[in-house]
Amino acid sequence: MASSISASISMNSLRQHSPKLAILFPSISQINNNNINPFFSSKFSYENFKTSKNLNLTLPLRKPFTTTAFSGNNNKSGHQASSDPRPTKVQELYVYEINERDRCSPAYLRLSQREMNALGDLVPFSNKLYSGDLQKRLGITAGLCILIQHVPEKKGDRYEASYSFYFGDYGHLSVQGPYLTYEDSWLAVTGGTGAFEGVYGKVKLQQLVFPYKLFYTFYLQGIKDLPPELVFKPVTPSTAVEPSPAAKACEPHAVIPNFTD
């Protein structure tokens, strides 16, 4: 009731200030006196709308409706921030993994309890790591392979591998992916520490003499320039490659600082 009275008072005030509005919207008393229904009277509608052609009424323009996609990052500057500020330059790193049969590696854990290699068998391993030119001892590899499939027609196995490459004071690299004993394979570089902090990329694994000689070509991104001591021109991979005698003996000039043993 109170809202109806308030609306009536407001409308009467508008009529007093604007005779043109009074023509379009007669008061309740006028409607009652003339028995006019403003919604169903053709006379009222015709006269009012006829008169309204001469009215100069300005209606506010509706602002266009826009939508904004929700984002957890409210970037007020309007510029999309880079999703990854790390360097995208690709750097190559070459290393040899050599099993010199002096680390009791690999250890084959036949969890499948079958005579033939089968799903579930585990193979922890750790081998020595040499520079691509075979002149320096870099450190070791350490990790685990899980047997996924025995492939008799290729006389080998498919493993899922997760392991790391240790480079003394320069930190380490971690990789994960397929480890094939019968052909080359590619693994993902999943992270690192020290000079390799923030790294990502991939690595090509070449089986030279399984499981004794392997050659790796890393394609690294997300890091600063590699330390000069880790940049070498590699010896062409072959079954005959051998580390230099000085590197094998870990002589001071043939190792990197605090190499991992």
In a domain, 220, yes or no: yes
Give the pLDDT confidence score for residue 38 in this predicted structure. Answer: 45
Evaluate whether residue 83 is within a structural domain: no
pLDDT of residue 85: 86
**Residues with Cβ < 8 Å from 151, sequence gap 6 or more?**
157, 158, 182
Are residues 195 and 122 part of one domain? yes
Same domain, 43 and 117: no
- Tell me, yes or no, whether 126 and 243 share the same domain: yes
- Claim to verify: residue 109 and residue 237 sit in the same structural domain: yes
Peptide linkage before 106 cis (omega within 30 of 0):
yes
The rounded distance, in Å, linking the Cα atoms of 143 and 133 is 24
Question: For residue 6, what are the domain limits?
Answer: 2-52
Kindly state whether residues 16 and 113 are assigned to the same domain: no
Q: What is the pLDDT of residue 70?
A: 45
Q: Are residues 28 and 96 in the same domain?
A: no
Domain presence at residue 196 = yes
226 & 122 share domain: yes
107 and 225 belong to one structural domain = yes
Q: Are 131 and 250 members of one domain?
A: yes
Q: Is 239 left (phi over 0), alpha (psi -120 to 50) or beta?
A: alpha
Asked if residue 102 and residue 10 are part of one domain, the reply reads no
pTM of this prediction? 0.69
Q: Using an 8 Å Cβ cutoff, are 184 and 208 in contact? A: no
CATH number at residue 118: 2.40.480.10
Asked whether residue 166 is assigned to any structural domain, the reply reads yes
**Does the residue 127 lie in any domain?**
yes
Position 245 in a domain:
yes
Number of domains comprising the chain: 2
> Looking at the structure, do residues 48 and 96 belong to the same domain, yes or no?
no
**Does residue 41 lie in a domain region?**
yes
Q: Specify whether 201 is located in the same domain as 96.
A: yes
β-sheet bridge partners, residue 209: 213
- The pLDDT assigned to 49 comes to 44
Give mean pLDDT in consecutive 10-residue pieces for the chain, a chain of 261 residues. 50 54 51 48 46 50 53 48 81 98 96 93 98 98 98 96 98 98 98 98 98 98 96 97 98 96 92
- Asked if residue 75 belongs to a domain, the reply is no
